[in-house]
Amino acid sequence: MTTTALDLAAIKQQFPLLQREVNGAPLVYLDSANTSQKPSVVIDTMTAFLRNSYAPINRSAYQLASEATDAYEGARTKVQHFINARRVHEVVFTKNATEALNLVAHSWGRTNLREGDVVVLTHMEHHANIVPWHMLVAERGIVLRWVPLTADGQLDLTTLPQLLDGAKVFSFTAMSNVLGSITPVQQLCAAAHAAGALAIVDGCQYVPHNVTDVQAWGADFMAFSSHKMCGPSGVGVLYGREALLDAMPPFLGGGNMIADVRLDGFTTAELPAKFEAGTPPITEVVGLGAAVDFLTGLGMANIREHEIEIADYALRTLTERFGDDITLHGPTDTSVRGSTFSLAFRGIHPHDLSQVLDQKNVCVRAGHHCAKPLMRLLGVSATARASFYLYNDTDDVDTLADALDGASAIFGF
């Protein structure tokens, strides 16, 4: 069954991998919060680029190289519009979101944070937005504070002013990769700024699913990965406000990021090259550009609407069928959640559950989802996570539910 917002039959057709059958049945891919599948247009764009236009960027006078440079820089402009950045050079290509967050912690953090300085994080961060700060705790003696969660897995903002009091940084996710909770990003950025802190947004789980506007948010930095939004792996994005990026020292040193190198030192290139040391993932950036066009073509507002319908259907179906036997972590209000569900089912360990679901071609992730502090808070060592995207329909929810039923049979619970 399709939803009202998107034509699912037409969309599924565009994802070759979703046409694949395993043991005579189609795959039900419910692990897009981990990484998404790729539409033909992304695959074809990358292939065509490799066949016809591949060349170094920024370095050579010949026609082919300028074509490749145009394709690479064209993707940057697409990303700029996609997240509504003010200037195109506020978009820095990195390896992934993890590298983007490390870039901020390393470059901005080491320049601006001293012993005792406070960085505020939340209890639902991915390790990528925790460990770089822990590294500064070890190296600099900065202090971390943590925004707690409500019982239904949203940020508990009652103590936010106290937590932000005197803080230098507030770094938080726009959507939890475990709970699916969407945070009030604009409000959090404003609260950070009111306290004199920088607002850093981990947009990994948000950008692929919603309309993103970094200017409306008031974000100082924002990180996301191409591979979760129908683009290839190997490329991520750091958005940073121009004034901040300008004032920061480079992260990695080498080719492309310099204006001049002498025996006694170097000067850095202008933005964004300053933060793009070495040969970048050229083909992947071009692929990301195609993914942005693909998503824009569908309409991010439509994708969000589709996922609200899927989330609603999943919440209804799973609770109607399994009642108290299933725990769905995170909010039940679809206005503050995406379509990512961590679940506990009849005492069956997530690893076992995902193994049994795999038997029905249902791909879900079992594990701690790189959010161990949150796992501890939930009192579990792992969860099974089903995450839906623009190519999943309500039939996929039903298949998941049927497969869950089958799991009970094996474990006899």
Partner 1 sequence: MPGLEDLYREIILDHHRNPRNRGELPPPAPHAIGHNPLCGDEIEVYLQVENGRVVDIKVGGQGCSISQSSASMMSQAVKGKPIAEVQALVRRFKGMMSIPDADGNAIEPDPAVTLGDMEALQGVVKYPVRIKCAILGWNTLLEALEQV
Ligand X SMILES: Cc1ncc(COP(=O)(O)O)c(C=O)c1O
Rule CB under 8 A: is residue 355 a binding residue for partner 1? yes
- 3-class SS shares of the chain: helix, strand, coil, % to 5: 45, 20, 35
Single-letter amino acid, residue 116: G
The rounded distance, in Å, linking the Cα atoms of 160 and 165 is 8
Least distance in angstroms from the C-beta of 23 to partner 1: 6
Partner that binds at residue 96, options ligand X, partner 1, none, CB closer than 5 to 8 Å by kind? ligand X
Partner that binds at residue 54, options ligand X, partner 1, none, CB closer than 5 to 8 Å by kind? none
Take residue 119 and report the two structure tokens written for it: 């960085």
Partner that binds at residue 205, options ligand X, partner 1, none, CB closer than 5 to 8 Å by kind? ligand X
Rule CB under 8 A: is residue 350 a binding residue for partner 1? yes
Asked whether 375 and 391 are in contact (CB, 8 A), the reply is no
| Site map 10..49 versus partner 1, x via CB under 8 A | ------------xx--------------------------
Q: Which is nearer to partner 1, 184 or 367 (CB)?
A: 367
How far is C-alpha 367 from the chain's CA centre? 18
Least distance in angstroms from the C-beta of 377 to partner 1: 13
Strand ranges in 28-94 using DSSP code E only, listed in sequence order:
28-29, 91-94
- 119 CB contacts (<8 Å, ≥6 apart)? 113, 133, 136, 142, 143, 144, 145, 167, 168, 169, 170, 171
Torsions phi, psi for 30 (to 5 deg): -120, 45
Strand ranges in 81-166 using DSSP code E only, listed in sequence order:
91-94, 118-122, 143-147
Partner that binds at residue 193, options partner 1, ligand X, none, CB closer than 5 to 8 Å by kind? none
Partner that binds at residue 225, options partner 1, ligand X, none, CB closer than 5 to 8 Å by kind? ligand X
Least distance in angstroms from the C-beta of 398 to partner 1: 21
To which residue do tokens 């796992």 refer?
A: 375
User: Which span (99-107, 176-184, 238-246, 352-360) binds partner 1, by CB under 8 A?
Assistant: 352-360
Rule CB under 8 A: is residue 379 a binding residue for partner 1? no
- Is position 370 annotated as part of the catalytic site? yes
Q: Which is nearer to partner 1, 163 or 363 (CB)?
A: 363
The rounded distance, in Å, linking the Cα atoms of 172 and 86 is 22
Q: Which residues are catalytic?
A: 370
Contacts with partner 1 by CB under 8 A lie at 22-23, 349-352, 355-356, 359, 366-368, 372, 375, 381-382, 410-412
